[in-house]
Amino acid sequence: MSGQRCVITVDPQPEPAARLVVFPHAGGSSTTYRRWADLFSSDVELSVVEYPGHGSRMGEELVDDHAVIVEEVCAVLARSDAPTALFGHSMGALIAFEAARTLTAGGRPPIHLFISAAQTPPALDSWAHRTWTDEELAEEMLRFGGTPQEFLQDVDIYEAFIKILRCDYRLLDQYVYEPDPLLAMGITAFYGLADDYVTYEHVSGWRALTGAGFDTYPLAGGHFYDAASIPELCGAVESVLETLSGDSLIREPVGVLPLGGGTI
């Protein structure tokens, strides 16, 4: 792996046809998404954002301001000449969206935005502003799925994770959507057919945020999808990138685990 601390390039390629930058979910880190590199051809360079205080940056202070994260990440992405697409899962979709805005304003618009299991940024205005207890945050983790019960029984891991999750929820709580010109790149919205929290109706709202193409893509499973859905998701991403780049980007899928280890 290589790259700046905030953007980890999993498998650097000399001249990639496209670069896919993944923004993790609340409570998530780069660890979950690094294994996706095996699902893409060498024409796709996979990079994963590592938020301050998460994963390999655990020793750093947590950040509850999305603008700080966006500024840090975009400063790194702006140095690359590779055509770049952004992918955000749940909370990561919000940060990817704001990064797309920032990169566009700086003259380096992404070629596509992929959002996954996420309501639109304007919908966060109705986010329930509240103070979460540790017990309520733990229940949230289990409710959304992807977090083993045993995970919450290790006191040290539990306390560290609750601290991270509380910060990420505070980021969402403090976010204020500001209307701006429509995005010029297309958006593809993934959602789980068994997701009780983000449905087709929710992700369809992203259509109103782009002046380009829009499509939805259903996947088996809940908020973090089934394990078998991850290769399908990556295949769908490859298909879009192939259309945009004109190159063949398909690789035979290998076994991976489902998303998880967080909430929204």
Better pLDDT: 151 or 29? 29
Mean pLDDT of the chain: 88
Can you give the pTM of this predicted structure? 0.90
CATH architecture for segment(s) 7-245: 3-Layer(aba) Sandwich (3.40)
| Residues sharing a CB contact under 8 Å with residue 235, sequence separation 6 or more, in sequence order | 39, 250, 253
263 φ/ψ angles, rounded to the nearest 5 degrees? -135, -105
pLDDT digits (tens, 9 = 90+) for 119-137: 999 998 765 556 778 888 8
The mean per-residue pLDDT over the stretch 156-175 comes to: 90
In the block, tokens 């999750």 appear at 165
Question: Could you report the per-residue pLDDT of 97-120, keeping only the tens digit for each?
Answer: 999 999 999 999 999 999 999 999
Confidence of residue 153 (pLDDT cuts 50, 70, 90): confident
Determine the pLDDT at residue 193: 98
Pick from 75, 29, 44: nearest CA to 236:
44
Average pLDDT over residues 186-214: 96
